[in-house]
A and B are shown apart, each in its own frame.
Chain A
């Protein structure tokens, strides 16, 4: 985890359009470490797909630098860039399989590009189809496979050249919830077993919660916040993070009173904190919302409570909760 495998420095990207120049990314700085699953989340149009394409130079940054494995991608010749891309696999929302090739030949494809001989390529492709759980679909064409199966073939294909990094561009957005879970589990398994660094681009919080170690939140062309998923979940610093992590906030917007959010992790959940607090202050609080989430195997709970009207009591309640070691945050603005 020492030296980053991907390092992005002051990256900006603009596109020329008939309506003038449009800035898509602005001053992005990012380090992704070996072996981690790194999430990049943002609403559509935030620039995250462009960002992932800058990592393998499918899009050249307007300014700034991208280092992969210590190499400045801009300094590479076209040939070297092709070779470097072979150590970065990529999967897509629409799978992007070759429709006129069988599953096996699809997995062989990147090896053909790399110049691997046919026999070795087929052997490797068979192993990979086994790894993704589709050994019996080798001779099926993509049109004969379901969405989840197609994405599995695409994952096998992306892994064919033994990449160091796997870039996933909205890889589960076209899949139903249960298939999404399966594919995410597969990605997690691949990350552990093959020690491939995975970069996940998504607009869905549950994808980040399920597999990411760290996450960057992109909001209107900028990185709003970077941190571990637990950290941001417990103490979101930016509006964008709050909106993404607590989408239910919008539903609570009616209440005018002061509210606060309390986040529990597995350790603090055993004490009856709210009940104790109510007894102690002899004032009731209104629970507006409660929810538990599973982040990377750990249970997290959150409660949004409406604080009493009296100013002093509300402040003291917040103090009390903080003293109990809970992440407490007053929620306003969008709530």
Chain B
């Protein structure tokens, strides 16, 4: 079972998984973070309430989040092809991963920012801070520990999504698990991929929690 070909394949799958997870997470945060900020800022009790925008974004996010990932994966194939020119392999997988993760991240960011003490925001307002200054100098720094915990959750969720993309020809460990374990009944290889995935999740989760703890000055 441990012949060089399989080891090489697993190593490549491992790297591909990391690649998909981190690139997707990064791009999803580029979309989700501002979206989450806008959700909080434009909320009824926010620092710059815009009810219609808040409502509209809420509906879009809920819509995207209510579609099961496997179905979303297939539905967005035309978009994937349009952006990456292909629907196979790990790069193509990034598109559906981002589409699924960005709204999820927006909600995570929203809940982190809503934890920031209203009184502190009011204090900043009393000093003449503009909404933009409040976002960047108060809300984001004050929510930092919570945002880091959220990102650990987001990255591990994206990792598990990435494994699912194996069903439609995405790359990575999920793809290996499905091809060898599901189609060829090679349980050993499938178990190894599962172990590898568990290790990645553990490491990421622990890392996130540690970082959050170090960065939190409240205790």
Closest Cβ of chain B to A95, distance in Å, is 8
Stretch at the interface among A107-115, A199-207, A247-255: A107-115
Question: A113 touches which one: B124, B142, B215, B217 (CB < 8 A)?
Answer: B124
Contact with B along A125-150 (1 / 0, CB 8 A): 00000000000000001010000000
Q: Which of B117, B128, B129, B216 is within 8 Å of A84, CB to CB?
A: B128
| In the bound complex, CA of A96 to CA of B123 (Å) | 6
Evaluate whether A100 and B141 lie within 8 angstroms (CB atoms) in the complex, with A58-B126, A143-B219 already known. yes
Residue A12 is within 8 A (CB to CB) of chain B in the complex = no
Which chain B residue lies CB-closest to A143? B218
A114 to chain B: which residues have CB within 8 Å? 127-128
Q: Is the CB of B128 within 8 A of A96?
A: no
Q: Is the CB of B219 within 8 A of A85?
A: no
Q: Which of A45-102 contact B (CB under 8 A)?
A: 56, 58, 78, 81-86, 88-90, 92, 94, 96-101
Roughly how many angstroms separate A154 CA and B120 CA in the complex, as a whole number?
Answer: 11
> Is B137's CB under 8 angstroms from A90's CB?
no
A239 shortest CB reach to chain B, Å:
33
Nearest residue in A to B215 (C-beta to C-beta)? A100
A85 to B129 alpha-carbon distance, docked (Å):
9
- Interface residue? A161 (CB, 8 A): yes
User: Which chain A positions have C-beta within 8 A of B142?
Assistant: 98-100
Contacts of A78 in B (CB 8 A): 130
Contact call A58/B133, Cβ cutoff below 8 A: no
Residues of chain A within 8 A (CB-CB) of B137 are 109, 112-113
Contact (Cβ within 8 A) B119 A113? no
Which among A85, A92, A98 has the highest number of chain B CB atoms within 10 Å?
A98
Q: How far is the CA of A96 from the CA of B129 in the complex (A)?
A: 15
Chain B residues contacting A101 (CB-CB under 8 Å) are: 141, 217
CB pair A100 B128 closer than 8 Å:
no
Given contacts A96-B119, A99-B142, contact A88 B217 (CB under 8 A): no
B122 touches A96 (CB 8 A): yes
| Least Cβ–Cβ distance between B123 and chain A, in angstroms | 4
Q: How many Å lie between the Cα of A196 and that of B145 in the bound state?
A: 38
B138 at the interface (CB under 8 A from A): yes
CA distance A101 to B138 in the complex (A): 10
Residue among B124, B128, B217 making CB contact with A99, cutoff 8 Å: B217
**Nearest Cβ on chain B to A15's Cβ, whole angstroms:** 12
Taking the closest CB of chain A, its distance from the CB of B134, in whole angstroms, is 9
| Inter-chain contact B126/A85, CB cutoff 8 Å | yes
Please state if A141 and B217 are interface contacts (CB–CB under 8 Å).
yes
* 5 smallest beta-carbon distances between A and B, as pairs: A85-B128, A82-B128, A96-B123, A90-B126, A96-B119
Residues of B within 8 A of A (CB): 117, 119-120, 122-130, 133, 137-138, 141-142, 144-145, 215-219
* A residues with CB within 8 A of B: 56, 58, 78, 81-86, 88-90, 92, 94, 96-101, 109-110, 112-114, 141, 143, 154, 161, 167
